[in-house]
Chain A
């Protein structure tokens, strides 16, 4: 049994804001939901499935279903695996649709860390005494940046990866972001700009890090029957994989991510190989996140990621693997520190020929979106989805 072809993404919406001073979190969720439903040509009452994660306030689905006035929900899901949640939700929504549990699933993400002054990457977070790992980690002041930095250092040590190679990932993102009027950072940067930007936590410079932004996004996953009834071009869900990765009882290896396991599951279900992927949205909390994920998804051999991303190989129209053509988290946005949902949105745009003409991949038939949640320096969730045009 497989989810291949049972579900389509029928509508998407990305909130244009990057600094939501005057909007609440619930309001942002509601606005992106309305946008995605309108894009699909569906109404509030068509929604019978609702998915959200830890960014939704209160009791997640219970709070948001009431706020948004959803009246017909018969399937709800609040799986929270950090920024990878929304990629995972596609797979879980397709499963629910395959079993007849719902036929129109709405997935929302929204938040306002920037308006709230959150030092997302550089300040340790307090998760409380019940967190089982906290007594053995929290006093050492792990932050988002220094955890990813430790993965980068080890990757450099084992494979000779360089800061200049990592910088190419940011350079490619910036080439795409210049065409996105909503992107926070629209200036094209060079390798020199990246390696000369201030060191945050060695070996990661400021330009190796994603932006902190408010906003959000939503998409609607529907059954193939609903998809066929809509005027909108839809995108077919071909395959999905998910995997946790952790510190493995002290057998630590930070040179790879859970994508090594989620990827093959998704490729097998979709019946495609990495060579068939025309466009990839790769979670880019940091440059090292992209580099390790590209290796893990078998776009290149393990340890070869640095060479693979160099010389513009990720730039649309230039290289072999156009990635994050909206500018991604490195340049456009990273709503509520969770970049998985926006990865899906740009993959859908590419498959609908709705990306900016300057970055649109010609004849884009098969796309991949990958989410990473938690931290590649400790414990993470990885989720991979493979999407195709409606006739794929």
Chain B
């Protein structure tokens, strides 16, 4: 099982207070453009499809599959960075945790968990499902 070091805090700014408050409650929110009905990533207050302010955050399923990953062997301890494609169809950068890094694979099913970062803000990471 992988060792972990506490993650640095995300640089939180005024645009994303709702997203981070939900994360602290253990909920991954995903943004959706209400003009087109489409999800997008990363979160922003303007739709990247229409540039309108008609956007909302909705709770995600928290399930997805690994699109790609890499284990940074030069770090101490090593860590696994990844892109995970959520069931909602969008792909987000994250870390893979709670697993043997040598057994991570593209296409593997994962589910969201939360990790406290420096200063206490929780952030979404993923672990193998099941």
Q: Does B83 lie within 8 Å of A139, measured CB to CB?
A: no
Q: Does A250 lie within 8 Å of B79, measured CB to CB?
A: no
How far does the Cβ of B2 sit from chain A's closest Cβ, in whole Å? 14
Interfacial residues, chain A to chain B (CB-CB below 8 A):
122, 124, 128-143, 145-146, 149-151, 153-154, 157, 198-204, 247, 249-252, 254, 378
CB < 8 Å: which of A137, A154, A202 contacts B73?
Answer: A202
CB < 8 Å: which of B8, B48, B74, B125 contacts A249?
Answer: B48
Residues of B within 8 A of A139 (CB): 7-10, 117, 123
Q: Does A201 lie within 8 Å of B73, measured CB to CB?
A: yes
Interfacial residues, chain B to chain A (CB-CB below 8 A):
7-13, 16, 38-44, 48-49, 67-75, 79, 81-83, 85, 89-95, 106-107, 117, 123, 125
Given the contacts A141-B75, A249-B90, A146 and B81 also touching, CB distance less than 8 Å: yes
A198 to B123, CA, bound (A): 31
Residues of B within 8 A of A135 (CB): 10-13, 16, 42
A137 to B91, CA, bound (A): 12
Residues of A within 8 A of B44 (CB): 132
Q: Does A145 lie within 8 Å of B72, measured CB to CB?
A: yes
Given the contacts A142-B81, A200-B74, A157 and B106 also touching, CB distance less than 8 Å: yes
CB < 8 Å: which of B7, B42, B106 contacts A136?
Answer: B42
Q: Does A137 lie within 8 Å of B41, measured CB to CB?
A: no
A75 to B70, CA, bound (A): 44
CB < 8 Å: which of A122, A133, A151 contacts B74?
Answer: A122
Q: Does B91 lie within 8 Å of A252, measured CB to CB?
A: yes
How far does the Cβ of A160 sit from chain B's closest Cβ, in whole Å? 13
Q: Does A250 lie within 8 Å of B69, measured CB to CB?
A: no
Which residue, A142, A202, A203, has most C-beta atoms of chain B within 10 A? A202
How far does the Cβ of A373 sit from chain B's closest Cβ, in whole Å? 19
Q: Does B13 lie within 8 Å of A129, measured CB to CB?
A: yes
Which residue, B41, B48, B123, has most C-beta atoms of chain A within 10 A? B41
18 A-B pairs (CB sep. < 8 Å): A131-B11, A132-B42, A133-B42, A135-B11, A139-B7, A140-B7, A140-B93, A140-B95, A141-B79, A145-B72, A146-B70, A146-B81, A149-B70, A201-B70, A249-B38, A249-B49, A250-B39, A250-B91
Residues of A within 8 A of B13 (CB): 129-130, 135
A142 to B75, CA, bound (A): 12
A249 to B32, CA, bound (A): 11
Using CB atoms, name the residue of chain B closest to A127. B11
Given the contacts A130-B13, A200-B74, A202-B71, A136 and B40 also touching, CB distance less than 8 Å: no
How far does the Cβ of B129 sit from chain A's closest Cβ, in whole Å? 19
Q: Does A150 lie within 8 Å of B72, measured CB to CB?
A: no
CB < 8 Å: which of B72, B91, B106 contacts A141?
Answer: B72
A129 to B14, CA, bound (A): 10
A99 to B123, CA, bound (A): 51
Residues of B within 8 A of A128 (CB): 11
CB < 8 Å: which of B38, B75, B81, B92 contacts A122?
Answer: B75
Using CB atoms, name the residue of chain A closest to B14. A129
How far does the Cβ of A157 sit from chain B's closest Cβ, in whole Å? 5
Using CB atoms, name the residue of chain A closest to B79. A141
